[in-house]
Structure 1
Amino acid sequence: MFKKKRLAVAIIVFWILLAYIVAELAWWFIALEIQNRQMTTYRIMLLRPEDPGYNTRLEAIHKDEMKKTAEFIGEGSIFLLLILVGAIFVYREVRRQIRLQLQQQNFMMAVTHELKTPIAVTKLNLETLLKHRLDEQKQQKMIQAALQETNRLDHLATNILVASQLEGEYVQSKESLDLSDLATHLMQDYLHRFPERHWEQHIEPGCTLLGDAVLLQMLVNNLVENALKYSPREGTITVSLGRKGRAISLCVADQGQGIPDEEKKKIFGKFYRAGQETTRRTKGTGLGLYLCRKIAEDHHATLKVTDNSPVGSIFTVTFTA
């Protein structure tokens, strides 16, 4: 709340200063124009009507007055344009920095939550296993839950590490790989970890391309994890992979609430998550889809999101040969 008040005060001060500068510029023009007219009046008073060149000199004085007025208007317009352009640039940059700061703040809140929750769950499960003699079925259930939370931690740490590396000097090891095999193995893992969810997969064999196996695995994982987060438990998650001419298309469809049109371009931004971190219920850090976009760009692919029918979203990655 305090930061919002400071931001509001800063914006008000900015517009007041801008209005003051524009007012000073207008006053400068008015003062120069008054001075110009006074000089013109004074020069005309010095003329003698009986002088044979009176009309010519009078006309020259008026032309000189108009010339100076045009100069004042031209200089004032240039100054005003520069001031407005500079003000717009500063305002947009400040707003961008403020948005980035808020997104980073939300990111830190999300990371804190994402770290504490799996650690607390895993710790509780392990302490329960140590203190109590449980039957085999309950032991396996608690161990499976601890493993899932550990996988969440690993997924989070990997996302943060790769996001940092992709903006630095990450050295890709691109090679010819079978995307069909990679997607099939990942889907088998999800079927094993989340047997209660509804899955559909249509993976065409033999979809080979040149790419980084680690990054492409992360791309598929992040898209599927995103579908898991935003789909209801009774909803179906569909993963499709196939060729369309020389292109390879990977589609992950969910049956969640969908994404508003105004949010479709924003969701691929770094740290961006719709809503406020304090009221948002879904897990995440705002890095998953950002990494998907970066990985797709690094593999000369396009990533887009469209509406699913009747509800939900479809994320499509298209690799071109």
Structure 2
Amino acid sequence: MRKALFLFYFLIFYAITQLLWWGYILIKFEPERKGMIIGEGLIFMLIFTWGALKLKKQVKREHEINLQQQNFLLAVTHELKSPLASVKLYIQTILKRELDREQQKVFLSNSLKDIERLDDLVENVLLSTKLENRAYQLPKEVFDMTELVEQIIDRLQKNACKTQVIKAELDEHIKLKADKFAITNVITNLVENAVKYSPACGMIYVKLKEDEGNLIFSVADHGIGIPDEEKRLIFNKFYRVGSEATRKTKGTGLGLYIVRTVLQKHNASIRVKDNKPSGSIFEVTFENYAK
């Protein structure tokens, strides 16, 4: 990247130098056209500078995207290898050792958790690929949103810290017409993010309610929070909060991108707010959801 920028600046410097030199020569040989030459030179200089700045911005953006894609591939590789290695170890232990029934149940339960992690990752990648196609239409059906949220919370609670509580406040039997698979992905990503970025065994609040014809789903945590300057970036594909050097949490950078894109296809909106005294609140709104 540094070599490319050096070459870029050198070419700009060379072009500007040549422009000034040829302008000087033209003025010297045709002094009566001095005003026109200077005027046209300035216009050319402005257009050239604008084009150069746009080109630099585009090159920088492409470089950032390439880095994000590389980080994504590394993250996916790690996210795949880690649970696979864990499942392999559990199964090898069960086969090689004489374990009692209770120990086998613990090992199998942990293996199931890792398999569910793999399943979530694969679903994210598959859904992200589908959403890239602008013409793709999400199949919609009527389902019980309350029941779906309860099922997801129950599964994720089992994977959380033993003393960690995912507290739910859900209005009963709320029906929603949407793509159940995609909405499942949205809820899972938002709750998993809250678990992931919360302190060990922190409290997480999940709410689902009807308010004046709108359906509102929210997830609140008391984790690290999100800086204001990053709130508008977190829904970009491959973007993750913090720097690669200091980031400790796992992830691929696809979760919130999928959340926003799925909600857009359902004419729903999402916003992120600061929680008090710390953490974040993600609030999803389905306007006139019953229509």
Provide the rounded CA distance (Å) in 2 between the counterparts of 1:234 and 1:172. 36
Which residue of structure 2 lines up, in the alignment, with residue 14 of structure 1? 8
Larger Rg: 1
Aligned to 2:24: 30
The letter of the residue matching 2:210 is: R
* 1:227-246 aligned within 5 A: 227-246=194-213
TM-score, normalization: structure 2?
0.93
Equivalenced residues, count: 286
Match status 1:185 vs 2:179:
no
Identity %: 41
Q: CA RMSD in A?
A: 1.6
Q: Would the aligned equivalents of 1:307 and 1:314 in 2 still touch at CA under 8 Å? A: yes
Secondary structure of the residue aligned to 1:235 is coil
Partner SS, residue 266 of structure 1: coil
Report what 1:289 is aligned to: 256
Once residues 256 and 103 of structure 1 are traced to their aligned partners in structure 2, the CA distance between those partners, rounded to angstroms, is 24
- Aligned with residue 262 of structure 1, among 208, 229, 238: 229
Residue number in structure 2 paired with 1:174: 140
Greater fraction of residues in helix = 1
The 8 Å contact of residues 174 and 213 in structure 1, kept in 2 or not, is answered as: yes
**Secondary structure of 1:120's match?**
helix
- Whether the 8 Å CA contact 1:110–1:277 is kept in 2: the answer is no
Give the TM-score, by structure 1 length: 0.84
Question: Counterparts of 1:303-314 in structure 2 under 5 Å?
Answer: 303-314=270-281
Cα pair 1:106 1:276 within 8 Å, conserved: no
**Partner residue, 1:46:** none
Task: Specify which of 72, 77, 82 is matched with residue 112 of structure 1.
Answer: 77
Task: Name the amino acid aligned to 2:231.
Answer: K
Q: Which runs of 5+ in 2 are unaligned?
A: none
Give the SS at the match of 2:136.
Answer: coil
Between stretches 184-193 and 262-271, larger displacement belongs to: 184-193
Measured after TM superposition, the shift of residue 11 of structure 1 is 0.6
Q: 2:36 is matched by which residue type in structure 1?
A: E
Output one character per residue of 1:119-173: Cα deviation in whole Å (capped at 9) or x when no partner. Answer: 0000000000011111222211111110000001111111011101110253311
Q: 1:87 matched to which residue of 2? A: 52
Q: CA deviation at 1:279?
A: 4.8
Give unmatched runs, 5+ long, in structure 1: 1-6, 38-64
User: What per-residue deviation string (whole Å, max 9, x for no partner) do you get for residues 179-210 of structure 1?
Assistant: 22221222222334435321211111243333
Q: Is the 8 A contact 1:111 1:285 kept in 2?
A: yes
